[in-house]
């Protein structure tokens, strides 16, 4: 059975209908992702309310770099203490994140580049969540846009004092060189609908080369619908499309991809 390792179920109105469709498509587990304190609380509520024998839902607790300032403004120096309290409030919590770095480098000039002050803020917020993940012995769910070198450096320095620190780079967009660095850190790589895009050649090259033992699949729904559904709202059931795409470009059977990615998700997030 498939595992959607990264979805945003808090965006969904008719959640029962969506989950029924997911289960009908062969999805047995979904990890719904926190991006702020309030979102993390809601993810826990969803996981506790909607889990069933046929479809288990789990939650992560984290602060996305784009949502960080709002939470800092509300909780101040107590932010990480509050996040830790939320993460420890339920057995359904299986990770810290989504957290990381989100830098804009817009050569078109339509959006200003991320300022150094903003970068420093994001690095501090990410570093604090790395430490929280290590303290709680939970994996990190990492978001990265244009900050690969800094993210690898922050994780590597943290592993020097806590070798058990692990996690996943969600919705992978890096190249093969970045893949090697992520894998060497013991992290997993998760492929979203982006891997199916026609212009995603670098990501597809990574998808061919990444080892079975460190690959996950996700939808990032309701965002990032696969190529065949571009323009439509994404849903956990579409993780099947991503797994099918991987089976073709990796020259593996669909069942083998499902087995490998599900096993990785269960191992990383302790979903047994």
Domains and CATH numbers, the chain: 2-269 (3.20.20.140)
- Cα–Cα distances (Å) from 269 to 138, 166, 168, in that order, read 8, 10, 10
Q: Return the minimum-mean-pLDDT range out of 82-96, 111-125, 241-255, 256-270.
A: 111-125
Whether 165 and 140 have beta carbons less than 8 Å apart is answered as yes
Structure tokens at 268: 């990383």
Categorize the per-residue pLDDT at 108 as very low, low, confident or very high, splitting at 50, 70 and 90: low
Categorize the per-residue pLDDT at 110 as very low, low, confident or very high, splitting at 50, 70 and 90: low
Helix (H) or strand (E) holding 86, with range, is helix 79-87
In this prediction, residues 142-156 reach a mean pLDDT of 96
Alpha-carbon span 19 to 50, nearest angstrom:
9
Q: Which residue has the tokens 């269960």?
A: 266
Query: What pLDDT is recorded for position 204?
Result: 98
Question: What are the tens digits of pLDDT across the range 123-136?
Answer: 999 999 999 999 99
Question: What are the tens digits of pLDDT across the range 175-201?
Answer: 999 999 999 999 999 999 999 999 999
Query: What pLDDT is recorded for position 201?
Result: 97
Of the candidates 127, 126, 50, 34, which has an alpha carbon nearest to the alpha carbon of residue 87? 34
- The SS3 assignment for 251 reads coil
Q: Residue 180: is it exposed, middle or buried by C-beta count within 10 angstroms (0-12/13-18/19+)?
A: middle
Of the candidates 239, 224, 216, 234, which has an alpha carbon nearest to the alpha carbon of residue 167? 216
Helix (H) or strand (E) holding 16, with range, is helix 15-24
Residue count (the chain): 272
Query: What pLDDT is recorded for position 104?
Result: 85
Query: What pLDDT is recorded for position 112?
Result: 77
DSSP track, 104-157: ---TTSSSPPPPHHHHHHHHHHHHHHHHHHHHHT--EEEEEES-HHHHHHHHHH
Answer whether residue 205 shows pLDDT above 70: yes
Query: What pLDDT is recorded for position 244?
Result: 98
What is the DSSP secondary structure assignment for residue 14, as one 8-state letter?
S
The model carries a pTM of 0.96
Categorize the per-residue pLDDT at 109 as very low, low, confident or very high, splitting at 50, 70 and 90: low
Of the candidates 83, 44, 81, which has an alpha carbon nearest to the alpha carbon of residue 63? 83
Percent of the chain with pLDDT over 70: 98
Q: Are strands 27-32 and 56-61 parallel, antiparallel or unpaired?
A: parallel
Dihedral in degrees, nearest 10, Cα atoms 69, 7, 239, 258: 100
């Amino acid at each position: 059975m498939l595992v959607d390792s990264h979805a945003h179920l808090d965006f969904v109105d008719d959640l029962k209908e969506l989950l029924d469709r997911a289960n009908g498509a062969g999805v047995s587990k979904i990890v719904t992702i926190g991006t702020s304190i309030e979102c993390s609380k809601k993810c826990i509520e969803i996981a506790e309310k909607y889990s069933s024998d046929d479809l288990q839902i789990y939650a992560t607790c984290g602060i996305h770099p784009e949502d960080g300032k709002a939470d800092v403004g509300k909780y101040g120096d107590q932010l990480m203490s509050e996040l830790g309290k939320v993460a420890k409030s339920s057995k359904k919590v299986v990770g810290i994140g989504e957290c990381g770095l989100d830098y804009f480098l817009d050569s078109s000039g339509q959006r200003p580049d991320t300022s150094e002050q903003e970068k420093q803020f994001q690095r501090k917020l990410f570093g604090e969540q790395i430490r929280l993940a290590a303290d709680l012995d939970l994996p990190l769910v990492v978001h990265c846009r244009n900050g690969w070198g800094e993210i690898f450096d922050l994780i590597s320095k943290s592993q020097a004092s806590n070798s058990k620190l692990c996690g996943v780079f969600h919705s992978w967009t890096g190249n093969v060189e970045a893949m090697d660095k992520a894998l060497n850190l013991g992290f997993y790589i998760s492929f979203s609908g982006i891997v199916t895009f026609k212009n995603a050649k670098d990501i597809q090259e990574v998808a061919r080369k990444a080892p079975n033992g460190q690959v996950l699949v996700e939808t990032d729904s309701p965002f990032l619908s696969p190529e065949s559904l571009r323009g439509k709202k994404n849903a956990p059931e579409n993780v099947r499309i991503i797994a099918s795409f991987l089976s073709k470009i990796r020259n593996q059977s669909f069942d083998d991809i499902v087995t490998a990615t599900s096993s990785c998700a269960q191992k990383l997030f302790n979903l047994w």
